[in-house]
Structure 1
Amino acid sequence: MKPPIGRDTTLCMSLAARPGNFGSRFHNRLYELLGLDFVYKAFTTTDLPAAIGGVRALGVRGCAISMPFKEAVIPLLDGLAASAAAIASVNTIVNDAGVLTGYNTDYLAVRELVAQAGIAPATPFVLRGSGGMAKAVAAALKGLGFDHGRIVARNTATGPALAAAYGYAWQAGLGERSAPLLINATPLGMRGPEENALAFPEDTIQACDTAFDVVAMPAETPFLARARAHGKRLIAGTDIIVLQALEQFVLYTGVRPSEAHVREAAAFARETP
């Protein structure tokens, strides 16, 4: 049984521009199932340095990092684990007695999901975005042997840089470009101002084989909804969020839950509270 919250309870948290409930519900459900004296809370901030200073000063054990903080947080940390250093992007902070280390569990989640989907490495792809999550996707695909890719990003600094880092092509706009594998790593379709935006045009979606959206809120974006209507194979952001959150949980607590516990926590987290 989980102990009641008290002075010895360990705090974990997340920082995002648009906080959701999934992480809080997933982690807190696992704490309950495993009887761990932890609590997890989601936050947003307009002052990232102050927020990270609070993580250090208050002894917050772990902090998940989401858009748009995955790169900006790096100078505020004491070091990077290999998973974060390889792609210069952080989605997880672990606090060891005031020493903050950045990790990236997005990379591991993306790699596993693409491998599970059985997509041949020779498959050409188009990846929209050039931020932290796009880096994780590009690195995972390159690690799996995907050599025929194109980065589509309006940012003329980060877009070409990401493409060059992994040997892919770059273009600022999608144009008429399509591919068997389409990946959205932008906020298009995310709850908020761009919730109704379609990450790819209808005819581009119709021509693909696999639609991959990293957006986890909502569970089915307009992009995935249109791809489903056309009978395409889907890889959803909700799948990524479970796998990356599991690895965060292990880093924070030192405990790896059973598959049954992970399934239960994920189902609980997906329910509307």
Structure 2
Amino acid sequence: MQDDPRFTISRDTRLCMSLAGRPGNAGTRLHNHLYRQLGLDCVYKAFTTTDLPAAIGGMRALGIRGCGVSMPFKEACIPLLDELTPSAARLQSVNTIVNDDGRLVAYNTDYIAVAALLKAHGVAPGTPFVLRGSGGMARAVLAALVDHGLHQGLVVARNPQAGAALAAQHGLGWQPDVPAAAPGALLVNVTPLGMAGAPEAATQAFPDALVGAASCVFDVVALPPDTPLVQAARRLGRPVISGDEVIVLQAVEQFALYTGVRPTLAQVAAAAAHARAA
């Protein structure tokens, strides 16, 4: 395989990257596997940074084709970019940057992925929900929930300014702590609770009492895919939408923006399996 010219990095190879506070390997493995399947002269590498302006400037200066953006950079990168497409402008949150000959254009493919998963998992319009979180990803998820027809919701966030503002934007309630009861609700975690490497890695975002009465549990945390919340939902027999599913779908949208190529479902499935095998 090393002698195959498709897999040789040269001066013509296009570099794509990601920026995250805690970079993982899933996106890197998925993108690079698709490049190999499709014979594209591209390579993908994950980074973190303590100097976001310099990192974004380097992307522009070096001609890096695309950049996936994760917490905590989704909002902070906005002033450094040239154009926000409608999805990013509406949400004021960016998860994808495309470099068009030095012009950095921002997208939000998280919204697209979440909207597709709500439909695929049969979440019924009108389902009440409790969403925990108030950051950039929470904005994307909440917009997808509301656009899917879910208008009876509660935003739970420790930050009173961000939480109340996000809830008010959609005519919803806000409170700092999870409710005592929410029968039949869709529970959505969009915080680092349960994330590998975070101080709250072993913390369950919602207690068993809420999980057992939920109609569905959606944990946006992708690393690990089997978070304490996901484990609790499966133990209690509740349907689950996982962050692993989100990261795959949003990555495919990114892939298409970077390369102009949309892989088949079979190719995506193979790449996702490869990414999970790490």
Q: Report the TM-score when normalising by structure 2.
A: 0.96
2:196 counterpart of 1:186: no
2:205 counterpart SS class: coil
Partner of 1:150: 154
Task: Indicate which of 73, 78, 82 corresponds to 1:74.
Answer: 78
- Using the TM superposition, give the Cα deviation of residue 11 of structure 1 relative to its aligned residue in structure 2, in angstroms: 0.2
1:86 counterpart SS class: helix
**d(CA) in 2 for partners of 1:190, 1:226:** 15
Task: Indicate which of 16, 23, 29 corresponds to 1:19.
Answer: 23
Partner of 2:123: 119
Aligned residue type for 1:208: A
- Using the TM superposition, give the Cα deviation of residue 16 of structure 1 relative to its aligned residue in structure 2, in angstroms: 0.3
Tell me how many residue pairs correspond in the alignment: 272
Larger deviation, residues 178-187 vs 9-18: 178-187
Task: Indicate which of 261, 267, 274 corresponds to 1:268.
Answer: 274
Report Cα offsets for 1:249-271 as digits up to 9, x if no partner.
Answer: 00000001111111110100110
**d(CA) in 1 for partners of 2:104, 2:75:** 15
2:148 counterpart of 1:139: no
Task: Indicate which of 11, 14, 26 corresponds to 1:10.
Answer: 14
**d(CA) in 2 for partners of 1:18, 1:250:** 24
2:203 counterpart of 1:201: no
1:18 counterpart SS class: coil
Aligned residue type for 2:30: F
The 5 A counterparts of 1:51-66 are 51-66=55-70
- Using the TM superposition, give the Cα deviation of residue 177 of structure 1 relative to its aligned residue in structure 2, in angstroms: 4.1
**d(CA) in 2 for partners of 1:43, 1:246:** 19
The answer to whether the 8 Å contact 2:181/2:209 transfers is no
Partner of 1:45: 49
Report Cα offsets for 1:14-56 as digits up to 9, x if no partner.
Answer: 0000000011100000000000000000001111111111111
Aligned residue type for 2:267: H
Partner of 2:231: 225
- Using the TM superposition, give the Cα deviation of residue 3 of structure 1 relative to its aligned residue in structure 2, in angstroms: 4.4
Partner of 2:107: 103
**d(CA) in 2 for partners of 1:177, 1:171:** 13
Decide whether aligned partners of structure 1 residues 7 and 233 sit closer, same or farther in structure 2, where only a CA change above 3 A counts: same
Report Cα offsets for 1:173-197 as digits up to 9, x if no partner.
Answer: 1141424210000000000122101
**d(CA) in 2 for partners of 1:60, 1:259:** 27
- Using the TM superposition, give the Cα deviation of residue 164 of structure 1 relative to its aligned residue in structure 2, in angstroms: 1.0
2:75 counterpart SS class: coil
Decide whether aligned partners of structure 1 residues 76 and 177 sit closer, same or farther in structure 2, where only a CA change above 3 A counts: farther
**d(CA) in 2 for partners of 1:4, 1:122:** 51
- Using the TM superposition, give the Cα deviation of residue 163 of structure 1 relative to its aligned residue in structure 2, in angstroms: 0.5
**d(CA) in 2 for partners of 1:195, 1:3:** 36
Partner of 2:38: 34
Q: Report the TM-score when normalising by structure 1.
A: 0.98
Partner of 1:252: 258
2:112 counterpart SS class: helix
Query: Could you list the runs of 5+ residues in structure 1 that have no partner in the other structure?
Result: none
- Using the TM superposition, give the Cα deviation of residue 121 of structure 1 relative to its aligned residue in structure 2, in angstroms: 1.3
Alignment identity in percent? Answer: 61
**d(CA) in 1 for partners of 2:61, 2:270:** 34
**d(CA) in 2 for partners of 1:231, 1:216:** 20
**d(CA) in 1 for partners of 2:266, 2:121:** 21
Report Cα offsets for 1:74-112 as digits up to 9, x if no partner.
Answer: 111001011111111000000011100110000000001
Query: Could you list the runs of 5+ residues in structure 2 that have no partner in the other structure?
Result: none
